[in-house]
A and B are shown apart, each in its own frame.
Chain A
Amino acid sequence: MTSALLDVSGVTLQYKTPRHLVTATYRVDFSVHQGDRYVILGPSGCGKSTLLKAVGGFMAPVEGSIRIRGREIDSPGPDRMMVFQEFEQLMPWKTVYQNVLFPMKVTKKFPATKATKRAEAVIEKVGLAKFRDVYPHMLSGGMKMRVAIARAMALEPDILLMDEPFAALDALTRRTMQQELLALWDQLHFTVLFVTHSIEEAIIVGSRILVLSPHPGRVRAELNADSLDHNSIGKPEFGALSKRIHDLLFGGDQKQHASEGVV
C-alpha cells in the first residue's frame, strides 16, 4: 500500500446548509495508484462530488485523512487539477490558448517558453488547433470540456479530478469524449479520479470502480474494470459487471427502485 498516490482513509464529510447539517460520506476508505483510472460511482446524493471536492482541498473532512504522496491535503492546489461538470469553468475573458496557458503562468510550474509550447501541443492533442484564438462563448459544450481537460492536463498534475465531466453533454458527444479521454490516457498514462452516476460510464472509463451506497455515502465495493471499454458493450462480461454493480447498489430484490438516480 506504500505505493499509493492518493490515500483516503476513514473519511467522513459533513457540510452545512442553512437548515441542516448534512453527512455526505461516512468513513470512506480507498487508495488510488499511479496511472489508475479510478471511478467513484454512486447514486445522486451519495456524496461522491463532495468526496472529490475534499480531495481537491475545497473542504476538510471531519474525520479521517486524505493524503497525496503522503502529504496531508489542507487547501486547493495545482497538483490536483479539477475538471468540473459545468461549462462555465473556463474564463470567458480568455481565448482557448490563454485559458490553457493561464494555470501554467500563475503557478510558474514551467518556464515561459516551455509553457507556451506545452499549451500549443496540448490544444493540438485535443483537436482544437483551429480554435486556438477563439473565446469560450463561441465553442460547443463538448469543445469547452476538451479545453477544460487540456488546461488541466497541460499542468501535469499529480492527479486529475473529474466531477461528472460529461454529464451535461448529449449522448453522442459524451461517447466521443469518453473515447477521447481513453485515447489520451493510452498516450500519457496520467492518473485520474473520475466521479459519475452512470454505471455504463464507470465501466467504460474506469480501470477500478469504487461503488458508494446511497447517502450517506459508504463504500459498497471496489471492483476492477480494466478490460472493458466501448467495444465490450453488449458482451456478457459487460452485462454481468453492470448487473453486479446494480445489485450492489440496490440489492437484488428491489429492482423496482433500481432506476432511481442511476442509469
Chain B
Amino acid sequence: MTEGSRQSPIRTEREVDLVDAGVIGDVERPLTFAERVVNNEAVQRLTILVAIIVIWEIYARWLNNALLFPTFTETVKTFSKDVANGVLVDRTLTSLRTLAIGYAFGLALATLLTTFAVASSIGTRILSTLTAMFNPLPAIALLPLALIWFGLGTPSLVFVIIHSVLWAVSLNTLIGFRSVPETLRMSGRNLGLKGARYVGLILIPAAFPSILAGLKIGWAFAWRTLVAAELVFGVSSRSGGIGWYIFEARNDLDTATVFSGLLAVILIGLIVESVIFRALEARTVNLWGMQR
C-alpha cells in the first residue's frame, strides 16, 4: 500500500438546482380500495376463520361420524336451535353473571393490594411474596377446598374466580407501577401531587399498558376457570352455566351440542378480546403511542 493509493482522487464540488418532483404526483398517495381491504386486520382475521371452518367441514364430512366429530353445519344448526329456544342463552348468562361478580371482586381486591403495595416497601414485599406463592396455583385445585368452605353453589365459583383474577392483575399492575419512568414521577410530584391523586393521575395512566395486560390475562383465567369448574362439578346450584350445558350434552352422547357449547365459550372469548379489549386498547394505549 503506497501513500497515494489510499487517497481518493480530488473531485469537483457541485451544487444542483432541485429537479421538479411534480411528475411523480403527490408525495403521499392514498392506498387503493383493494390495498386497504388486504391490509385490514378484520378482513385478515375473517379469512383465517373461514379457512378453519372450511377445513373443519371437509374433515367432518370425510370422517362421517357425528358422535366423534360433527360437521360445522350441524354444530351451527344445534347452536342456533339452542340459542333460539333460550337454553344456551340462559346458561351463558348464568355463567357470565357469576364471572362478573368474581371479576369485580378480584379487581377490587387487586386495587386494594397494589395501592397498599405502592404505599410502602413492606407492602411491596408482601404482595410479591403472595403473588409468587399463589399465582402458580391453579384455581381449579382450590375448588374442592372452596366446596368445603362455601358449599355447592355460586360462592365457591366466585372464590375460585377471584383467585384466578387477583394475582394476575396485582402482579401486572405492580410491575407497571414500578416501570413508570422516574422523570414522569418527578414531574407529577413537582406539581405537589400526593397519595391517591398521585396514584390516580400519574401512576395508573402511566402503567396502563401493563394494567391492561393484567386485565386481559385475568379475564382469560377467570373464564377458563369458571367453565372448567362448572364442567367438573356441575355446581352452580339450580340453574347450571355453560360448563354444565357441555357436561350434560356429553352424558347424552350428544356431541353436536357439546360442540355448540364449546362454540359459545370460544365466541364469548373472541367477543371480549376483540371487541371490548380491542376498543379499550384503541382508545388508550394505542392512541397514546405506548403500544403498537
Interface residues of B in 267-292 (CB under 8 A from A): 284, 287-290
- Contact status B192-A76, CB under 8 Å: yes
Cβ-defined contact, B187 with A106, below 8 A: no
A78 on interface, CB distance cutoff 8 Å: yes
Rounded to whole angstroms, the CA-CA distance of A102 and B186 in the bound complex is 15
Chain A residues whose C-beta falls within 8 Å of the C-beta of B208 in the assembled complex: 93
Residue of B191, B287, B288 touching A106 (CB-CB under 8 A) = B191
Interface residues of A (CB under 8 A from B): 56, 58, 75-78, 80-82, 84, 86, 88-89, 91-93, 102-103, 106-107, 135-138
Is B197 positioned at the interface, with any CB of A under 8 Å from its CB? yes
CB-based contact B290/A82 at 8 Å: no
Of B181, B186, B197, B205, most A-chain CB atoms within 10 Å: B186
CB distance from B291 to the nearest CB of A (A): 10
Provide a sorted-by-A list of 12 A–B residue pairs whose CB atoms are within 8 angstroms.
A75-B192, A78-B191, A78-B192, A80-B190, A82-B187, A84-B183, A86-B183, A88-B184, A91-B205, A92-B288, A93-B206, A136-B289
Docked complex Cα distance between A186 and B183 (Å): 29
Return chain B residues, CB-CB under 8 Å to A78. Answer: 190-192
Q: Contacts A92-B289, A135-B287, A135-B289 known; A106 to B184 CB distance under 8 Å? A: no
> Which residues does chain A contribute within 8 Å of B288, judged by CB atoms?
92-93, 135, 137
B residues neighboring A (CB under 8 Å):
181, 183-184, 186-187, 189-193, 197, 201-202, 205-206, 208, 284, 287-290
Contacts of B183 in A (CB 8 A): 84, 86, 88-89
- If over half of B's interface residues share one DSSP class (helix, strand or loop), that class is named, otherwise mixed; here it is helix
CB distance A106 to B186 under 8 Å?
no
Given known pairs A82-B186, A82-B190, A93-B288, the reply for A88 and B201 (CB within 8 Å) is no
| Main SS class of interface, A | mixed
Assembly CA distance A91 to B208 (angstroms): 12
Cβ A138 vs Cβ B289 within 8 A = yes
18 other A-B residue contacts (CB within 8 Å) besides A88-B184, A92-B206, A135-B287: A58-B189, A76-B189, A76-B190, A78-B190, A78-B191, A82-B187, A88-B181, A89-B186, A89-B187, A91-B202, A91-B206, A92-B289, A93-B206, A93-B284, A93-B288, A103-B191, A106-B197, A138-B289
Minimum C-beta distance from B201 to chain A (A): 7
Distance A89 CA – B189 CA, assembled complex (angstroms): 12
From B193, B201, B290, contact of A92 by CB (8 A): B290
- Among candidates B184, B190, B205, B287, residue contacting A81 with C-beta atoms closer than 8 Å: B190
Given A88-B184, A93-B208, CB of A56 within 8 Å of CB of B190: yes
Give CA–CA (A136, B288) in the complex, Å: 8
User: Among the interface residues A56, A76, A107, A136, which one has the most CB atoms of the partner chain B within 10 A?
Assistant: A76
Contact B289 A137 (CB under 8 A): yes
Contact status B290-A107, CB under 8 Å: no
- Say whether A106 contacts B189, CB under 8 Å: no
Are the C-beta atoms of A89 and B289 separated by less than 8 Å?
no
Q: Which residue, B190, B197, B202, B284, has most C-beta atoms of chain A within 10 A?
A: B190
| Complex alpha-carbon distance, A24 and B98, angstroms | 58
Given the complex, which residues of B lie within 8 Å of A56, measured CB to CB? 186, 190
CB of B188, distance to nearest CB on chain A (Å):
9
Minimum distance in angstroms from A52 CB to a CB of chain B: 11
List chain B residues, Cβ under 8 A from A84: 183, 186-187
- In contact, A107 and B205 (Cβ under 8 angstroms): no
Q: Are A91 and B289 in contact (CB under 8 A)?
A: no
**Residue numbers in A under 8 Å from B186 (CB-CB):** 56, 58, 76, 82, 84, 89
Give Cα distance in the complex from A136 to B284, angstroms: 14
A78-B190, A93-B288 known; A106 vs B201 contact (CB < 8 Å)? yes
CA distance A58 to B189 in the complex (A): 9
- Please indicate the chain B residues that have their CB under 8 angstroms from the CB of A80 in the complex: 190
In chain B, what residue has the closest Cβ to A53? B186
- CB of A54 to closest CB in B, whole Å: 13
Within the assembled complex, what's the spacing in Å between the Cα atoms of A86 and B197? 24
The smallest beta-carbon distance between B208 and chain A, in angstroms, is: 7
A107 near B192 (CB under 8 angstroms)? yes
Beta-carbon nearest neighbor of A107 in chain B: B191
- Hey, which chain A residues are within 8 Å of B197, CB to CB? 106
| CB proximity of B115 to chain A, nearest CB, Å | 20
Chain B nearest CB: distance from A168 CB in Å? 11
